[in-house]
Structure 1
Amino acid sequence: MRIPAVLTVLLCLVATGCEDSQPEASASVTSGAGSTSTLSFLVQPRMHPVDATLEVADGFEAEDTWYVVSADHGAFLGLWTADQVDRDACLVPDDDLVTPGPSVQDLADALVSQKATRSTQPEAVVLAGYDGLYLELTGPPDLGVCDERPGLADERGIYVDDQVDQLWILDVDGQRLIVDSSYGPDTAADLRDALGAMVESLEIS
């Protein structure tokens, strides 16, 4: 079941080549169950903000300005971007990072080539009126053999064995925006359905 709560997310996209910095709190977000909070999210100095709205499904809450998560933390829907991709998702050293080119295709290719994850072939897609590529990444089957805090790209981590990340990599006015619907192998079917419904409800402005 879905409720008419609307999540307003302010996502700051990182321009290619920007220096890393820590987020600062201050954007506007509406969480589940109809409650509304006001927050602000500023990531890096050279950014173009992108607004997005979506209908938050029952059982999900906004825990930050850029994502919602189920109560059991088994299902996640986030908006993010990536300048760097882990060459091997099981390794965390800085020298393991690869910097793809600026296009949607460049990022998709880097993710497909990533070691320790399995990927579908990217498919052309239109989401919320923007062109892009869709692919699914499945994480390592045993995180116990990985370094601590394994990840896909930039700050996007891998938290359970065989984690699935359904990625829509979009060209939003020349910037890459990733819509990430993620779940684990034990995530209930109704939560996975809710993720799909929220993605379909997404509007980007």
Structure 2
Amino acid sequence: MNPAKRREIFARLQAADPAPTTELHYASPFQLLIAVVLSAQATDKSVNLATRHFFPQHGTAQGLLDLGLERLTDYIKTIGLYRTKARNVIRTCQILVEQYQGEVPHDRAALEALPGVGRKTANVVLNTAFGEPTIAVDTHIFRVANRTGLAPGKNVLEVERKLEKFVPPEYRLNAHHWLILHGRYICIARKPKCPQCGINDLCEYRHKTPA
């Protein structure tokens, strides 16, 4: 795919959604961090349904420590891998309180050192909470990047590196959100909605869904 076509793809995505953002509900960088940790192998909707019951009263690192592991586990039991996630969240809160005065560090290495926080989660926090032009590659973005020919790669890190290289600088801050939403609602896994796709004519997918 040539640079002009990539630029046009993002120009159209921007025109359709000028201010994209995450669908996770949060009111602070800390709440975003916790929501992203909980969203691994789970839907944003399921995470929002759970966090709305404890974020308002316990939406800080100290607040979740005061809530405790048992009660937190009960709140998030509708989310996949909830026991492991609950333990990771409590351990993360302990580290934030002890080392960062309860605040989320604006540093990749520090973020990735937190329990349950990998590269993708760190990228989301750096992008959405701190405004860095990072690109977090999840299953949706991995699929869209490969299917369209935008940034094909064999693994998520390869796709991330290619997107960092190929996405025009003026679109990089929001690229993650545009691609994830496109993959979530249009370029879906089993049967992409090609007739409804605003970048259909630019996409290099060979097996497009007919109208």
Calculate the TM-score normalised by the size of structure 2: 0.28
Calculate the TM-score normalised by the size of structure 1: 0.29
Structure label with greater radius of gyration? 2
Kindly indicate which of the two structures has a greater share of residues assigned to strand. Answer: 1
